[in-house]
Amino acid sequence: MARSRLSRSDLTGKVQTVRGLLGPAELGQTLMHEHVLWDLRTPEVRAKNDLGPELSFRNIFQMAYGETYSPRNMLFDDVAIAIDELQMMRDVGGQTVVELTCGGIRPDPKGLAQVSEGTSVNIVMGCGYYVEEYQDPKNKERSADDFAGEMAAQVLEGAWGTSVRSGIIGEIGTTTPWGALERTVLKGAILAQQETGASVNIHPGRHEDLPQEIAEFVAANGGDTSRTVISHIDRTIFDSERLLRLADTGVTVEFDLFGTEAAHYKLNTTIDMPNDAVRLQHLRTLIDAGHLDRIVISHDICQRTRLTNFGGHGYGHIFRNVVPMMRRRGFSEAEIQAILVDNPRRLLTFA
C-alpha cells in the first residue's frame, strides 16, 4: 500500500510526533535528546552475538561506570519496560521526549508508537544516520541529494519502512577526524531541513573544536543555525571561551548527559566529565552572556544501567532532581521554563 506524503505546509507551525501532528502548546516540559529503544553495540560486537552476563547488583556499578564493557547494557528493546520508564517521567512532569535513535543504531518507529500510546508521553522521532562506524558501508557510494531525499521522506511519509513519521532530523553522526561520508550525510540533512522546515540535531566528534567547525559548516552550506542543535557539549567543551563562541553562531547548545555524575568517561578517558552541578555552571555562563534561548538539556539515556528498572536515574531525573537544584542555585522560573519548554517548542515547531 502506498504511503501518503505530507506537503511542507501540512507541517508548518506544528510538531510531528510518532502518533501524528500536535499544536506546539501541547508539548510541555521536553527532553531534547533521549533513546527509548536502541542498539548501540558496534557492528563488530553485534556479529559476536554474545550479550555477556545479566545485570545484577553484583556487576551493575562496574557496567554503569563503563570500565567493564557489557554488550547487554548497550542494547534495549523491551517496550513494556520502556512504557514503565516513561510513565515514571510523566509522573514527575515530563510530557515530551525527543528520541534520536537513527540509522545504524536500530530505530524502531512502531515500538516508539506503542510506548507513546502506552504512556500518553509525546515522542518526537529523529531520522538520518549516526556515525560512520555504524553505517552500512554502501552508504559511501551515496550522494547528499540521495540522503536528503531519504530524510525528507522520513519526515513527510514515514521512516524505516513504516508510516511513522519523524519530527526532527538526527542525531546526525560526526567523528573526529570528520570524514567524507559523515560530511555528505550532514549536507543531506541540511537539504532535508530546507525542504521540510525541520530542525537538525548533530552528534559531534569528541575534539573540542569540532562543534564550532560543524556550526560553521552548517552555515556555509545554507543550513539554518537557529534550527540546529549540537549535542553532547558536556563531554566536548570545557571552557567558557569555546562555549560562548559556539553559541554566537546561533546554534542551540545541548547539555544532554545530565545524570552522569562520574568524572570517569570511558569513551574519552583524557577528559574529566562534569557532574550536574558543573553542567549548571556552564548553563549560567551561557545565560549571563545572553544565550538563554540557545540552551536545551536532556539525559541521552542509551545504556540500561541509566534506566530506573536497572538501578539508574531514569528519564525523570531532570524533573525530580535537577530542577530543584536549579532553583536552589538561583535559576529563575522563567529560565527553567525557557530551557525545558520554550526552546524545545521553538525547535520542534516546523518552520
Binding site for Zn ion (CB under 5 A): 100, 300
Closest CB to Zn ion among residues 132, 287: 132
Q: Least CB distance from residue 171 to Zn ion, whole Å?
A: 5
Closest CB to Zn ion among residues 303, 349: 303
Sorted by sequence, the CB contacts under 8 Å of residue 159 that are 6+ apart come out as: 107, 109, 125, 127, 165, 166
Q: Least CB distance from residue 157 to Zn ion, whole Å?
A: 24
- Residue 300's region, left for phi above 0, alpha for psi from -120 to 50, else beta, is left
Residue whose CB is nearest to Zn ion in the complex, by number: 300
Closest CB to Zn ion among residues 18, 156: 18
Closest CB to Zn ion among residues 100, 181: 100
Q: Least CB distance from residue 241 to Zn ion, whole Å?
A: 26
Q: Least CB distance from residue 237 to Zn ion, whole Å?
A: 17
Q: Least CB distance from residue 111 to Zn ion, whole Å?
A: 17
Q: Least CB distance from residue 98 to Zn ion, whole Å?
A: 10
Q: Least CB distance from residue 128 to Zn ion, whole Å?
A: 12
Closest CB to Zn ion among residues 100, 280: 100
Closest CB to Zn ion among residues 14, 279: 279
Closest CB to Zn ion among residues 105, 338: 105
